[in-house]
């Protein structure tokens, strides 16, 4: 008797966020301070399947894939650091604030986030937003959040879902990645697309000017826009936070591998089934699936597609 086909092609929610770095060893130390001390793999070599994604015939890079030492149901995704070796690393797009087309942030769930944030401040980290609490519509979801900056300008959010964590008695401190935020042209279109990929629940959906972010826009000469934000959740992995601005912001996707946050990846139990599912939905791959042998029976497999806003998204199967 044949096994039933998995409804979402073995897709597992947000697996990791890609971050371009200029000093890999320094960035590994920085993210270790945020709890990401589990080095799943550290690979240097040619990355196949990226010619159309990058606009370059070949890409040689050092890639370090990190996971938290203390992942939880509210923070279970990882971070992929990428340092390009065969050409200059593209810069963070000039004028980026938050919510323009492109990848906005890494969001880490932290219990007692205020204490953790203040500890980083004392150690000299660059602060982008002081701790503040918010009540999110339409379910009055209570969270606290703050931001710091990584060595190459990536925005790192610390969030504490106060309404959700009471049933999960974990110790204070950072867990894993909770979600990735990215700018979109239509929240409704993005929600429909990612629901078909397994993000079937929504924690909040609200619209307005997020005043603590105003300095980021003012710093690049923009009037703070109204932003519609929602959190789309998968039962298997991290979440997605699409952001739609009114008026629309400029394109900040930048070149693949640029410094700061540049991509995110969906996990897959089996990459072949995940790719087949994308094909059933009419989603075409950009380039061919790639299989990198990490040695010792370990492997890293990935494939890329474009989402409705022409953002390159990868699907990843890691066996390490």
Q: Please write the tens of the pLDDT for every residue from 24-75.
A: 999 999 999 999 999 999 999 999 999 999 999 999 999 999 999 999 999 9
Q: Is the pLDDT of residue 302 over 80?
A: yes
Q: Residue written as tokens 């990428």?
A: 82
Domain residue limits, the chain: 11-319
Contacts (Cβ under 8 Å, ≥6 apart) of 244: 99, 183, 184, 185, 186, 187, 190, 227, 228
- Confidence grade of residue 170 (pLDDT, cut at 50, 70, 90): confident
- Distance in angstroms (rounded) separating the CA atoms of residues 313 and 17: 10
- Distance in angstroms (rounded) separating the CA atoms of residues 265 and 258: 16
pTM given for the model: 0.95
Q: Is the pLDDT of residue 263 over 50?
A: yes
What CATH number is given for 11-319 in this structure? 3.10.180.10
Neighbours of 57 (CB within 10 A): 7
DSSP, collapsed to helix, strand or coil, labels residue 226 as strand
- The confidence score (pLDDT) of residue 7 equals 67
User: Cβ(264)–Cβ(313) under 8 Å?
Assistant: yes
């Amino acid at each position: 008797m044949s096994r039933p086909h998995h409804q979402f092609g073995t897709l597992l929610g947000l697996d990791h966020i890609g971050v371009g770095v200029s000093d890999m060893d320094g960035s590994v130390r920085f993210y270790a301070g945020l709890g990401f001390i589990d080095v799943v793999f550290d690979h240097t070599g040619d990355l196949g399947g990226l010619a159309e994604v990058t606009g370059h015939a070949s890409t040689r890079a050092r890639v370090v894939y990190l996971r938290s030492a203390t992942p939880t149901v509210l923070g279970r995704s990882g971070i992929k650091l990428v340092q390009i070796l065969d050409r200059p690393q593209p810069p963070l797009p000039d004028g980026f604030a938050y919510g323009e087309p492109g990848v906005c942030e890494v969001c880490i769930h932290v219990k007692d986030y205020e204490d953790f944030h203040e500890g980083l401040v004392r150690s000299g980290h660059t602060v982008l937003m002081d701790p503040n609490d918010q009540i999110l519509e339409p379910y009055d979801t209570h969270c606290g959040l703050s931001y710091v900056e990584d060595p190459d300008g990536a925005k790192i959010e610390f969030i504490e879902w106060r309404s959700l964590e009471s049933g999960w008695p974990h110790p204070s401190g950072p867990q894993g990645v909770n979600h990735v935020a990215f700018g979109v042209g239509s929240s409704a279109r993005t929600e429909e697309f990612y629901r078909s990929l397994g993000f079937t629940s929504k924690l909040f959906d609200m619209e307005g000017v997020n005043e603590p972010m105003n300095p980021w826009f003012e710093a690049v000469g923009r009037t703070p826009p109204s932003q519609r934000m929602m959190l789309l959740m998968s039962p298997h992995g991290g979440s997605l936070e699409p952001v739609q601005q009114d008026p629309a912001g400029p394109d900040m996707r930048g070149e693949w591998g640029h410094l700061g946050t540049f991509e995110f990846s969906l996990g897959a139990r089996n990459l072949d089934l995940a790719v087949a599912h994308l094909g059933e939905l009419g989603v075409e791959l950009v380039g061919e699936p790639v299989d990198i042998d990490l040695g010792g029976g370990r492997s890293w497999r990935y494939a890329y597609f474009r989402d409705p806003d022409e953002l390159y998204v990868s699907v990843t199967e890691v066996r390490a």
